[in-house]
């Protein structure tokens, strides 16, 4: 752990902890966050505040001449102007400047060195720092020393609201992305998944420009090196199926497919915790230990046992842990070209039988048409 001068980011705070280890972040969370606790498995449990999920209706991308023609604008990719982005960034910087201490996590997105992105997170909650310590690829001491300037910066001021009267704002929550400034600003939501998905959005934009396909899928590998991909929305089974004890885990959610094969974007997993049990998902259950972040779960104040079936806070309870917490994880998290591509779906209309084998042409059609959604 070291300190870091953030004055070039418009932030002047005396105490800035850079890449603090989990033990230090545990201490900081327990001392500073009234919702933090250590449960019987050793994991850190925490509340994300009012928002317990992502806020897609509050996401904005800067409309800029350099990138405007590469973005499919509409109800999903909504625009803001550069001036509004600067207003929200200054609002985030102003809030961060009021904190007595800040946390910085420097890490990588993408296990393939040729396509790796250097990412910097600036945040005020130790839980957010520990979350991104888990979810980014953790640099070695030598890599951290030589890290230099990042390729992308996230200002997480989620405890501070956006100004509803600012142009393009739809609520007090605003998650704003500028490809030209290589920055993301988070206001009005403390849900940690916004940082994870923000980086994924950046990779979705950058990788196709390098002839690399970015994919929302999990991946694992057999003993013979055969790679399988599992596409599907949250809750369809990507994480569960990829954590097969008989196969090596490459990753549970975000991957890229290049001319050299498949690589994971992340350094960790972000598993749904609802209904989790050692009988049904032993690999994931065993990964919830010291260093893991448990979001919005309910636990017994006396025994510190987690009730994974309790949805009184949210059905979207989550666990964030490093990739290597899965016993058979493959490090580095890369693989050959996939031999099997599996679509996991919630098909409410009976379009196809429960299990269907598709031709390449059918697979392309259903993928492009969004059938996995």
From the list 58, 106, 252, 253, the catalytic residue is 253
Q: Is 292 a catalytic residue?
A: no
Partnered with residue 151 across adjacent β-strands are: none
User: Is 234 among the catalytic positions?
Assistant: yes
The angle subtended at Cα 288 by Cα 285 and Cα 291, nearest 5°, is 165
Query: Among residues 99, 216, 304, 311, which one is catalytic?
Result: 216
Alpha helix segments (H runs only) across the chain: 22-32, 82-97, 126-135, 141-145, 193-206, 238-242, 282-287, 360-368
Q: Which of 166, 170, 234, 236 is catalytic?
A: 234
Catalytic residue status for 60: no
CA distance 320 to 76: 26
- Integer Rg of the chain from CA: 20
Catalytic residue chosen out of the listed positions 45, 48, 239, 317:
239
Whole-angstrom distance, CA of residue 193 vs CA of residue 320: 10
Contact 133, 161 (CB under 8 A): no
**Where does residue 360 rank: exposed (0-12), middle (13-18), buried (19+ CB within 10 A)?**
exposed
Q: Is 197 a catalytic residue?
A: yes
- Is 239 one of the annotated active-site residues of the chain? yes
Q: How far apart are CA 249 and CA 324, in angstroms?
A: 9
Q: How close are the terminal C-alpha atoms of the chain, in Å?
A: 42
Residue 216 a catalytic site member: yes
Q: Find residue 255's DSSP bridge partners.
A: 215, 264
With DSSP H G I counted as helix, E B as strand and the rest as coil, what are the percentages for the chain, rounded to 5?
Answer: 25, 30, 45
User: CA-based angle 115:112:285, to the nearest 5?
Assistant: 125
Determine which one of 18, 54, 115, 138 is catalytic: 54
Q: Which of 47, 125, 128, 318 is catalytic?
A: 318
Is-contact 306 41, C-beta < 8 A?
yes
Catalytic residue among 197, 255, 330, 366: 197
Is 318 noted as a catalytic residue in this protein?
yes
**DSSP letters of 144-188?**
HHT--S-SEEEEEETTS---TTSTT--SS-EEEEETTTTEEEEES
Report the catalytic residues: 54, 197, 216, 234, 238-239, 253, 318
């Amino acid at each position: 752990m070291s300190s870091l001068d953030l004055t070039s980011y418009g932030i002047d705070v005396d105490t800035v902890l850079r890449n603090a280890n989990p033990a230090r972040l545990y201490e900081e969370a327990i001392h500073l966050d009234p919702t933090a606790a250590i449960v019987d498995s050793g994991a850190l449990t925490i509340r994300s505040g009012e928002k317990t999920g992502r806020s897609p209706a509050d996401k904005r991308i800067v409309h800029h001449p350099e990138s405007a023609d590469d973005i499919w604008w509409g109800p999903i990719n909504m625009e803001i102007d550069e001036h509004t982005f600067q207003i929200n960034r200054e609002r985030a910087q102003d809030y961060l400047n009021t904190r007595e201490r800040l946390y910085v996590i420097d890490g990588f997105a993408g296990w393939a060195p040729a396509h790796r992105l250097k990412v910097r997170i600036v945040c005020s909650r130790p839980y957010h720092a520990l979350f991104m310590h888990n979810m980014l690829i953790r640099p070695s001491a030598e890599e951290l020393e030589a890290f230099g300037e990042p390729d992308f910066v996230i200002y997480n001021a989620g405890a501070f609201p956006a100004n509803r009267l600012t142009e393009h704002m739809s609520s007090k929550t605003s998650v704003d992305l500028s490809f030209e400034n290589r920055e993301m600003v988070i206001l009005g939501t403390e849900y940690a998944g916004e940082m994870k998905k923000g980086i994924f959005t950046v990779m979705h934009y950058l990788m196709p420009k390098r002839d690399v396909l970015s994919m929302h899928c999990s991946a694992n590998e057999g003993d013979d090196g055969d790679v399988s991909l599992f596409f599907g929305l949250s809750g369809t089974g990507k994480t569960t199926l990829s954590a097969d004890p008989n196969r090596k885990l490459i990753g549970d959610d975000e991957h890229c497919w290049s001319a050299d094969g498949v690589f994971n974007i992340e350094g960790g997993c972000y598993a749904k915790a609802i209904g989790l049990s050692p009988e049904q998902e032993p690999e994931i259950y065993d990964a919830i230990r010291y260093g893991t972040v448990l979001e919005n779960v309910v636990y017994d104040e006396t025994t510190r046992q987690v009730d994974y079936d309790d949805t009184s806070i949210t059905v979207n309870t989550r666990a964030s842990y490093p990739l290597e917490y899965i016993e058979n994880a493959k490090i580095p998290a890369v693989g050959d070209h996939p031999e099997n591509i599996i679509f996991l779906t919630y098909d409410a209309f009976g379009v196809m039988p429960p299990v269907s084998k598709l031709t390449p042409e059918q697979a392309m059609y259903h993928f492009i048409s969004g059938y996995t959604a």
